[in-house]
Amino acid sequence: MTDDGENMESIIKTIDIHKSFPLGNHEMLEVLKGVDFEVQPASLTILKGRSGSGKTTLLNILSMLDDPTSGKVIIDNTDVGSMSVRKRELMRRYNVGFIFQSVALVPIMSAYENVDFGLKLAEYKGDRDARIKEVLSIVGLEKRINHMPSQMSGGEQQRVAIARAVAHKPKIIFADEPTGALDTATGLGIISLFKKLIEKEGITIVMTTHDPNLMSFGDAVYEMEDGELRYVPGE
Amino acid sequence: MIRFIKYKILNKRWLNLCLLTGVILLSGFLCVYPMFKEGSLNRKMQSLFHEYIEKNKEFPAAVWTRGEVTGESYSDVDSVIAFMDELAATWGRYLDIPMMEKEQIIEINAGYGEESLTGKSRQITLDYVNNLKDHADIVCGVWPDEAGSSDNEMVKEALNAGALPCVVSAATYERDSITLGQTFRATLNKSNDKNEFVMVIVGIIEEKDDGVPFWQKRLEKYNRSLFFSKDDYSLLMKSYSIGTMYYQEYVTLDYTYINYNNAEDFYSYLVQFQNIDPEFGSNFKNIISSYMESKKTISAILFTFEIPIVAMLLLFIFMISGRILEMETNEIAMLKSRGVSRGKIIILYIIQSAIISFVGSIIGLPLGYFFCKLGAGTDSFLGFTLKDTSIYSPNLTMLVFAGIAFGLSMLFMIIPVIPISKYTIIERKSHKNEGKAKPLWEKFFLDIPLLGLSIYLLFNYLKQREAISLAIVSGGQIDPIIFLDSSLFILGCGLFALRILHLLTNLIYKIGKKKWKPAEYVAFLQIIRTTKKQGFISVFLVMTIALGIFNSNLARSVNENMERRIDYNVGCDYILEEKWEIILKKLGSNGPTYWRYKEPDINRFEPLKALGVESMTRVVKDKNTEVTVGRQKELGCTLYAVNTREFGQTASLKDGLNDKHWYNYLNDLSQKPNGVIISRNLAEKYELNVGDKIEYGRYSPVESNKLYASAKPEIVGIVDSFPGFESKIYLLQDDGTYKTKDNYLLVVNYTSEVETFSLRPYEIWMKLTPNADYKEIDAFLRENDIKTDSTTSRAKLIQDQRDSTLIQITNGMFSIGFVISLTVCAVGFLIYWILTIRERELIYGIYRSMGMTMGEMFRMLALEQMFSSLFACAAGFGVGILTTFLFTKLISIVYLPREHNIPLEVIFKAADAGKMVAIVLIVFLVCFMIIYRIIKNMNITKAIKLGDD
């Protein structure tokens, strides 16, 4: 459900997600305590919260990188829990894009090749070269396509990661603290870029952040606190 | 700081354990050098002494001198003996070798003594030999000091008349037909009539056969000597007061005491003694001299064998140390950024490497001892045995070599620190893409000059091959560069192969760049973009495998060719040449001398069948046969007279040396009693063909220049090779060098030969059953008192060759090197890959998060391993085999310098390569299993989290 109350079919839906981690001594730490949550297509959903509040754990579960201890994740009307490992791999490959806080570019590949690698994985059917140049141009790196990650600044690297994440036109992008390592201006630039991509490519973006300056850009903002997710209206 | 270092070492315990393994192996292998060298040289020294004993039938370490004393200064035996003892003590102060025996002789030249029986005069000397009774036996008669108890009437009569009793040697007794009781009358001092003495022979003596090395001057050489008792001799000396007496002193020393540590000092003393006293002599100066020549060669070759393995181990240490540093780069940069000076960082690593190097070097010492014993116990390549290796013992120089290992390993651990310690965290980030750069050797094309130089040297050596062979046959030094050149080639060719491999990988990548699937795409980029990083493992693999393959093939080729040549040269399992008695008869004073050999009973050898003699045959062999073709004569040809059937059953010849199987030639000969098989070189020189006739003659055994008979057989076969026949022989020239000469062969029927040339000594050739032991035949001959001119055992010759210093060093060092190569190859490869995977966990996490399947991950890793390691291994095999074919024949000259009917053949034993392939495959398999476990158990979110951290 969106903040204006309009009903749309959600692209991501979670039902009573619980996640616990063993602490040793047979004790468990419950990080997620029954999360119910929906994401509308072509929107920017922001998950905010303090460090250790469980937002990355939730993002990992949403993006099928991790399994919940209990509960259901439904993506694009499919229950992820019922999918085989192979199917989940393919789902991530074709329909999902990732942006990590650690940037996570492949260090041996140039900006061009990093994006190309994403396209190859997703078996992109169109003109790959044109698409690479296009997305790198969207992120403002058209002049740095042959630069290696080590030759670029943190912000530039993050923009390459974004270009790689969006290049194959996934349905959803999961971004974990994409602006965490960046200064405010660069961070804002990245969020504007997200907005532009949502508008232009119709992508759904779910991102985590603890930067209060970015909240106003989200179509929906949720706050994670002590393993529980709370919708934050008006942000 | 120490706590920090301890933490650092323990934090990367597996890598540091690897590093420690490298240092232990380096120290161990370096420590082999001094111990192996000393042991090998001691062995060489002992073998030279034993050769001397066998050849000269005398004890090999004796010094002697001679001189004059006058009766004025020395009035009795004891004073002269004391003087000689003093002389011996003077040498002894320098030649600090335990003395075994002293043969001291005092001699008075009595001029001509008149024999009582014939009235003739013959030259005599009056001798005293110390401890004569202890070292000689009375054959008949009595000792001079027991003359009173003689029952010989003539002796009694002479003694009663005042004659002095004396004994003579059995040789003098036989030669001069002396009888007991015979007297000699001699005047010692012509100016004084009172000095006329009469001496009576009271006994005949011969050397005591007690194994005591007393008789350096053999008793048979005292051919004019009359030996007296000490008291009588003192009496003679007193009467001879103003005359000159001669003394001779032979001191027998314990040769086993002469070794690597003292030989050169002893040599220098011997030279100095000889310069001071021209009468001073020794029989072992030449032995030490030839030992010193061998020492240079042995030291150089051992050193040459050490270099490639040491280089490989240093490369291993450098590689592992580099890996550790790569993982600690950020740590170093962080320390640098926080204000720790570069010097302090380097000191930190110096202390760390010193600890590892010290521990490794110390542990390497006992390992070196073990390696040396292992190498010394080899009988062939990788043929480890439990034979006696007590001559190889640890020495203090090993500590020096452990110290060298310590220094070298420290240096190779520190080198990579120097560039890394330069950067702060910021500078470090800007240098991160340096992995893309090419390795230095590739960038500066170092492989090309290395390869060029090694090929140039190879061709130069091949051009001089004949000269090198002759120089080695003549006892010249071996040029160690011959060995080093092969290592240089392996390095140059290995690097060149890697360059080609890199180019090929690039080409393959570029060809399919647009079409590669993600797994291939990532794998190719990984290989191409991390050449510098991965270069080391590739160079390491190429070098290790190539060296292992080449060394194993070289050792196999040398051993196998050597054994084949011995097989050929002997021609059967055992050859016995018995002493034959010749009976001479001269007709008139100017008439011809008739001779006849008395054939020993061959049936005495029947019991040998029970000892494993399968068959035996008579073979007449004469290396001084004259061949006449038309008007031309060929001297010094080799004649064989054989019973064809028996010979075929007893002798052996490798297949493929003649146009057809050698039995065919024997069959042709058996069909024609008056036939002859000749060698191809003879046929070619005189354009002879089957069906032609040649004439040959043999020289008389008593008149060496006279042909006593000749025959004119018809040629029934022309052979290239025949058991025991070498078509090239080496002749010693006046300048001490050798030259080659063609040797020609004639093989005739034994019966025809005896009919024409009468019965002459023959050799008995034997074929033994596989389990028979030649030592039992030797024992049989000894037990049955069968006198032989020579015995030759194929098995003994092969064993002697295997035990020869050079072969022992080669087999030992190559076997140890091969084992070390396999170990470091396996450890290096495994460590490299496991660390690489661990290091790339974040990247693999990203790949997995992006949807790369497990199958794709393995394809990517397999492709990467294939191009960077498996192809490097294949290149190593290729380079090893190429080096084998290019260098084996050249290097084999060092071991087998003589031109031979058995051409040098490169032996490639698939089992050795198989061992390496098996090790590589096992390591690959283990590696893959570990990688599989790591990736399968990889938690993607954790891996990515790792990246965040």
Q: Select from B520, B846, B856, B858 the residue whose CB has the most chain A CBs within 10 Å, as the one to mutate to test that interface.
A: B846
Q: Among A60, A102, A128, select the one facing B947 at the smallest CB separation.
A: A102
B584 and B691 fall within a common domain: yes
Asked if residue B269 belongs to a domain, the reply is: no
Complex-level ipTM: 0.84
Q: Among A66, A94, A150, select the one facing B433 at the smallest CB separation.
A: A150
Asked if residue B237 belongs to a domain, the reply is: yes
Nearest to B542 by CA among B216, B178, B875: B875
- SS3 of B212, please? coil
CA distance A142 to A150: 17
Asked if residue A3 belongs to a domain, the reply is: no
Q: Is residue B254 predicted with pLDDT exceeding 50? A: yes
Contact (CB<8Å) B849/A98: yes
Please state, in angstroms and as integers, the Cα–Cα distance from residue B760 to each residue in B41, B570, B582, B670, B875, following that order: 44, 21, 9, 21, 62
Q: Is residue B122 predicted with pLDDT exceeding 80? A: no
**Residue bearing tokens 């040029």:** B479
B32 and B68 fall within a common domain: no
Tell me how many degrees the CA angle B67-B69-B72 measures, rounded to the nearest 5: 175
Question: What is the C-alpha radius of gyration for chain B, rounded to an integer number of angstroms?
Answer: 38
B15 and B25 fall within a common domain: yes
B111 and B134 fall within a common domain: yes
The winner for highest mean pLDDT among A137-151, B380-394, B605-619, B862-876 is B605-619
Instruction: Establish if A8 touches chain B: CB-CB under 8 angstroms.
Output: no
Domain boundary among B207, B234, B253: B253
Q: What is the CATH number of the domain that holds A88?
A: 3.40.50.300
CA neighbours within 13 Å on the CB side: how many for B332? 25
Q: Is residue B273 predicted with pLDDT exceeding 80? A: yes
- CB atoms inside a 10 Å sphere around CB B743: 19
CA neighbours within 13 Å on the CB side: how many for B232? 24
Asked if residue A5 belongs to a domain, the reply is: no
Burial zone of A216 (CB within 10 Å; 0-12 exposed, 13-18 middle, 19+ buried): exposed
The string of DSSP letters for chain A reads: --TT------SEEEEEEEEEEEEETTEEEEEEEEEEEEE-SS-EEEEEE-TTSSHHHHHHHHTTSS--SEEEEEETTEEGGGS-HHHHHHHHHHHEEEEBTTB---TTS-HHHHHHHHHHHTT--S-HHHHHHHHHHHTT-TT-TT--GGGS-HHHHHHHHHHHHHHT--SEEEEESTTTTS-HHHHHHHHHHHHHHHHHH--EEEEEE--GGGGGG-SEEEEEETTEEEE-TT-
- SS3 of B828, please? helix
Tell me how many degrees the CA angle B213-B214-B218 measures, rounded to the nearest 5: 100
Asked if residue B574 belongs to a domain, the reply is: no
Nearest CA in chain B to A56: B941
Domain carrying residue A197: 12-231
pLDDT the model gives residue B241: 61
Give the confidence band of B18 by pLDDT, cuts at 50, 70, 90: confident
pLDDT the model gives residue B276: 87
Confirm if B728 and B740 have CB atoms less than 8 A apart.
yes
pLDDT the model gives residue B427: 59
B294 and B405 fall within a common domain: yes
- pTM exceeds 0.90: no
The string of DSSP letters for B313-340 reads: HHHHHHHHHHHHHHHHHHHHHHHHHTT-
Q: Select from B430, B941, B946, B949 the residue whose CB has the most chain A CBs within 10 Å, as the one to mutate to test that interface.
A: B941
Q: Is residue B627 predicted with pLDDT exceeding 90? A: yes
Instruction: Establish if A52 touches chain B: CB-CB under 8 angstroms.
Output: no
Burial zone of B86 (CB within 10 Å; 0-12 exposed, 13-18 middle, 19+ buried): exposed
Answer left, alpha or beta for residue B25, where phi above 0 means left and psi between -120 and 50 means alpha.
alpha
Chain B residues closer than 8 Å to A106 by CB:
522, 525, 843, 846
Asked if residue B440 belongs to a domain, the reply is: no
User: pLDDT tens-digit profile of B54-77?
Assistant: 888 788 888 888 888 877 778 788
Confirm if B714 and B669 have CB atoms less than 8 A apart.
no
**B513–chain A nearest CA distance, Å:** 11
pLDDT the model gives residue B116: 67
Chain B residues closer than 8 Å to A86 by CB:
853
Give the confidence band of B515 by pLDDT, cuts at 50, 70, 90: confident
Q: Is residue B649 predicted with pLDDT exceeding 90? A: yes
Contact (CB<8Å) B850/A121: yes
B638 and B553 fall within a common domain: no
Chain B residues closer than 8 Å to A109 by CB:
525, 529
pLDDT the model gives residue B357: 95
Please list the alpha-helical segments (H only) found in B465-480. Answer: 465-473
Asked if residue A6 belongs to a domain, the reply is: no
Q: Chain B neighbours among A 183-212 (CB < 8 Å)?
A: none
Burial zone of B261 (CB within 10 Å; 0-12 exposed, 13-18 middle, 19+ buried): exposed
**B524–chain A nearest CA distance, Å:** 10
**What does DSSP say about strands A204-209 and A44-49: parallel, antiparallel, or unpaired?**
parallel
Domain carrying residue B758: 580-786
Partners of B765 in the β-ladder: B575, B617
**Residue B844 token pair:** 């693999």
User: pLDDT tens-digit profile of B757-782?
Assistant: 889 999 999 999 998 999 999 999 98
Q: Is residue B332 predicted with pLDDT exceeding 90? A: no
Q: Select from B944, B946, B949 the residue whose CB has the most chain A CBs within 10 Å, as the one to mutate to test that interface.
A: B944
Q: What is the mean pLDDT of residues B746-762?
A: 93
Instruction: Establish if B938 touches chain A: CB-CB under 8 angstroms.
Output: no
Give the confidence band of B943 by pLDDT, cuts at 50, 70, 90: low
Q: Among A106, A120, A128, select the one facing B846 at the smallest CB separation.
A: A106
B78 and B119 fall within a common domain: yes
Contact (CB<8Å) B851/A91: yes
SS (H, E, C) B149-184: HCCCHHHHHHHHCCCEEEEEEHHHHHHCCCCCCCEE
**Residue bearing tokens 């005495």:** B604
Give the confidence band of B373 by pLDDT, cuts at 50, 70, 90: very high
Q: Is residue B916 predicted with pLDDT exceeding 90? A: no
B12 and B141 fall within a common domain: no
B561 and B595 fall within a common domain: no
Count of the separate structural domains present in chain B:
4
Contact (CB<8Å) A100/B947: yes
Q: Is residue B428 predicted with pLDDT exceeding 70? A: no
B685 and B818 fall within a common domain: no
Confirm if B880 and B873 have CB atoms less than 8 A apart.
no
pLDDT the model gives residue A3: 43
What H or E segment, with its residue span, contains residue B102?
A: strand B99-115
CA distance B84 to B104: 7
Structure-model confidence comparison of residues A49 and B678, the more confident one: B678
pLDDT the model gives residue B195: 67
Q: Going along B270-404, which residue ranges are E strands? A: 281-282, 378-380, 383-384
Q: Is residue B111 predicted with pLDDT exceeding 50? A: yes
CA distance B190 to A97: 130
CA distance B9 to B3: 10
Positions in chain A whose pLDDT score sits under 70:
1-8, 24, 102-103, 181, 234-235
Nearest to B620 by CA among B580, B584, B654, B565: B580
The separation between the first and the last C-alpha atoms of chain A, rounded to the nearest angstrom, is 15
Q: What is the mean pLDDT of residues B918-924?
A: 81
B679 and B767 fall within a common domain: yes
Handedness of CA B887, B888, B892, B893 (dihedral sign): negative
Tell me how many degrees the CA angle B709-B714-B716 measures, rounded to the nearest 5: 130
**B521–chain A nearest CA distance, Å:** 8
Burial zone of B785 (CB within 10 Å; 0-12 exposed, 13-18 middle, 19+ buried): exposed
- Collect all residues with Cβ–Cβ distance below 8 Å to B716 and sequence separation of at least 6: B665, B668, B669, B671, B672, B675, B676, B677, B690
- SS3 of B884, please? helix
Average pLDDT over all residues of chain B = 86
Give the confidence band of B430 by pLDDT, cuts at 50, 70, 90: low
Identify residue B641 by its one-letter amino acid code: A
Structure-model confidence comparison of residues B659 and A193, the more confident one: B659
Identify residue B3 by its one-letter amino acid code: R
**A2–chain B nearest CA distance, Å:** 29
Q: What is the mean pLDDT of residues B615-629?
A: 93
CA distance A233 to A5: 11
Asked if residue B285 belongs to a domain, the reply is: no
CA distance A114 to A128: 12
pLDDT the model gives residue B588: 67
Burial zone of B277 (CB within 10 Å; 0-12 exposed, 13-18 middle, 19+ buried): middle
Count of the separate structural domains present in chain A:
1
Percent of chain B with pLDDT over 70: 95
Structure-model confidence comparison of residues B698 and B478, the more confident one: B698
Q: Is residue B537 predicted with pLDDT exceeding 80? A: no
pLDDT the model gives residue B949: 42
CA distance B612 to B730: 35
CA dihedral A115, A117, A119, A124 (to 10 degrees): 150
CA distance B622 to B628: 16
- SS3 of B494, please? helix
Asked if residue A39 belongs to a domain, the reply is: yes
User: pLDDT tens-digit profile of B295-326?
Assistant: 888 888 888 888 889 988 998 898 888 888 87
User: pLDDT tens-digit profile of B720-734?
Assistant: 999 999 998 888 887
Asked if residue B276 belongs to a domain, the reply is: no
Nearest to A33 by CA among A16, A50, A46: A16
B412 and B541 fall within a common domain: no
Nearest CA in chain A to B429: A150
Structure-model confidence comparison of residues B112 and B252, the more confident one: B252
Nearest to B750 by CA among B676, B682, B807, B695: B676
**Residue bearing tokens 């510098």:** B532
Asked if residue A68 belongs to a domain, the reply is: yes
Percent of chain B with pLDDT over 90: 31
Confirm if A129 and B533 have CB atoms less than 8 A apart.
no
Domain boundary among B786, B807, B831: B786
Nearest to B796 by CA among B265, B54, B32, B237: B54
Q: Among A116, A118, A148, select the one facing B850 at the smallest CB separation.
A: A118
Q: Select from A32, A64, A95, A117 the residue whose CB has the most chain B CBs within 10 Å, as the one to mutate to test that interface.
A: A117
Structure-model confidence comparison of residues B926 and B881, the more confident one: B881
Asked if residue A7 belongs to a domain, the reply is: no
Look up residue B71 and give its DSSP letter.
Answer: T
Confirm if B52 and B309 have CB atoms less than 8 A apart.
no
CA distance B554 to B454: 17
pLDDT the model gives residue A4: 44
Count interface pairs A-B at CB distance under 8 A: 77
**B862–chain A nearest CA distance, Å:** 18
Asked if residue B444 belongs to a domain, the reply is: no
Instruction: Establish if B590 touches chain A: CB-CB under 8 angstroms.
Output: no
**B336–chain A nearest CA distance, Å:** 20
CA distance B169 to B139: 9
pLDDT the model gives residue B857: 87
Asked if residue B445 belongs to a domain, the reply is: no
The string of DSSP letters for B889-907 reads: HHHHHHH--S--SS-----
